[in-house]
Amino acid sequence: MHVRGKAIFMEDKSAKRSSLLKRLALWTVPTLLVAAAAVYCFQLYQSHAAWKAEIRRIEGRGEPVRSADLAIKLDNPQDDAGPLLLEAIGALQEPEQAYLQLMTAETPTRAGAHGPLRDELQANQKSRELIAQAVARPHCRLLVDASAGDPRRSKILKCRALSDLLHAEVLWSLGTGEDQAAFSSTIQGFQSARLVGEESLTESRFTAIAMQNTSLNSLAELLSGGKITPADFLALDGELSRAASDCRCQPTLIAIRTYLIDGTALPRIREAISMPGAPAWIAWCKRVLSEPQVIDNAVYWIQMLSELAAISDQPGLDNPDIRDWQQRVAQSSFLYVKPYLAAAPQLRGPILAMRQRFILARWALRVDRFYRQNGRFPAELSQVCDAECRIVAPDLLFGQPLVLETYERGFVIRIETEEHSSQEFVKNCRFEVTYPATGDLQDTSDVSTQE
């Protein structure tokens, strides 16, 4: 009986200890959370009190409260691009009208589209010069009054007009054949967006995002015409990396970066391997392809890089990375569709839209070359497409007909796909090209081409 009573007592004691531990655990976690919240609130209160004291000190001197006064001071005022950007904004001539003209202009290569852009750029020559000076400086303090009623705060929002002006310069330069000037304006667009985004004000951040998107549109114009060399891309990579920190730009950036390893860019890459900076270009390609968000969307771009490895004696190409990429390609059953199917759902649309635009631009260039050489348009799309400019089936992703239309190099190209049941690379389409200068038209109603 004594042993049994002792056992019952031990069980009772163990149960009480377990219950006590549960109670301690139940109260300890909320207590720690409350303590952490109290410490955080105390630190926040101290920070706010210090900020208010700084505000009172500035107001006591009779000065306006400026956001830059509460930010990190620049040792050298010549490093500050803020005054130059504000001066450029003040010198803008009718920026709203320039924006409307820019949005309604069809393309600078079309007759009659030069006039509005030329007039607007000439009227804003001073602003363009100030932007060029501003982006040469490393930092930006816009010196905007932190009070809600400050009219200068609206000048931050007007920074978007600077991006629109640079975009107009890109279109004008492309239309007049000044490709390097267009590239410089695109770079300046990214740099000015980065400078504006340095300010902690909410308006500054959202304005910088809008300026980045305008710069990406400028870059898309350059890409669609094949106007950027590998050396230019290397110079641009730093600005793209900075823009990549903003998730809103990610889909477009992925589409642009994967485009660099496109099969139709292979001749340009072959030319690049003889450049002095070829090792840096190759290392850049490898690094981009190693990024997780890109690797799943770049199956057939990798194929072209593998081909480059086969034809080049450049050091560093024959390595396990290349062999791993080649193996990925060999295991892929749908080389030309997988980049879209493997992408995250929110990326499929932007990647596909950008890819369609590139496809049409290249088809248009091939059609233009065919017309100049033969004096007529091709009867079939296959006559202008080859291993480096393939016919793909972008409608496989949606399983429904798709109409693609673009205006390139002075003529209209229209592709209308037809629904097909098999998941093979068969392209049934109506291929139609209209050349406004001559009125010629070629139309083949049922062209079937198998890759």
> pLDDT for 323-345, tens place per residue?
554 454 444 433 333 333 333 34
Q: What is the rounded distance in angstroms from the CA atom of residue 244 to the CA atom of residue 229?
A: 21
The DSSP code sequence of 332-376 is -S-TTTHHHHSS-HHHHHHHHHHHHHHHHHHHHHHHHHHHHHHSS
Length of the chain: 451
Q: Is residue 206 assigned to a domain?
A: yes
Residues 407 and 443 in one domain: yes
Q: Is the pLDDT of residue 439 over 60?
A: no
Q: What is the rounded distance in angstroms from the CA atom of residue 398 to the CA atom of residue 402?
A: 9
Which residue, 332, 366, 398, sits at the end of a domain? Answer: 332
- Tokens at residue 355, please? 């890819």
Residues 368 and 424 in one domain: yes
Q: Is residue 234 assigned to a domain?
A: no
Residues 71 and 179 in one domain: yes
- Rounded average pLDDT over 100-123: 57
Q: Which pLDDT belongs to residue 131?
A: 92
Residues 73 and 202 in one domain: yes
Q: pLDDT-derived band of residue 311, with 50, 70 and 90 as boundaries?
A: very low
Residues 298 and 214 in one domain: no
Question: Among the listed ranges 61-70, 163-172, 274-283, 291-300, which one has the minimum average pLDDT value?
Answer: 291-300
Q: Is residue 188 assigned to a domain?
A: yes
Residues 126 and 215 in one domain: yes
- Tokens at residue 340, please? 């879209």
Q: Which residues contact 273 (CB under 8 A, 6 or more apart)?
A: 282, 308, 312, 314
Q: Is residue 13 assigned to a domain?
A: no
Residues 94 and 207 in one domain: yes
- Rounded average pLDDT over 302-325: 44
Residue closest to 289 by CA, chosen among 258, 326, 246, 324? 258
Is the pLDDT higher at 344 or at 361? Answer: 361
Residues 72 and 221 in one domain: yes
Strand partners of residue 6: none
Which residue, 332, 366, 389, sits at the end of a domain? Answer: 332
For residue 116, what is the enclosing H or E element? helix 114-123
Q: What is the rounded distance in angstroms from the CA atom of residue 3 to the CA atom of residue 98?
A: 98
Beta pairing, strands 411-417 & 441-450: unpaired
Residues 179 and 274 in one domain: no
Which residue, 201, 228, 255, sits at the end of a domain? Answer: 228
Q: Is residue 18 assigned to a domain?
A: no
Residues 318 and 395 in one domain: no
- Rounded average pLDDT over 280-299: 47
Q: What is the rounded distance in angstroms from the CA atom of residue 325 to the CA atom of residue 286?
A: 10
What sign results for the dihedral spanned by CA atoms 66, 72, 78, 81? negative
The structural domain count of the chain equals 3
Q: Is residue 14 assigned to a domain?
A: no
Strand partners of residue 88: none
- Tokens at residue 48, please? 């706010």
Q: Is residue 5 assigned to a domain?
A: no
Residues 212 and 295 in one domain: no
Q: Which residues contact 351 (CB under 8 A, 6 or more apart)?
A: 251, 254, 255, 258, 297, 339, 340, 343
- Rounded average pLDDT over 293-320: 42
Q: Is residue 37 assigned to a domain?
A: no
* Residue-number span of the structural domain to which 82 is assigned: 64-228
- Flag whether the pTM goes above 0.75: no
Residues 87 and 210 in one domain: yes
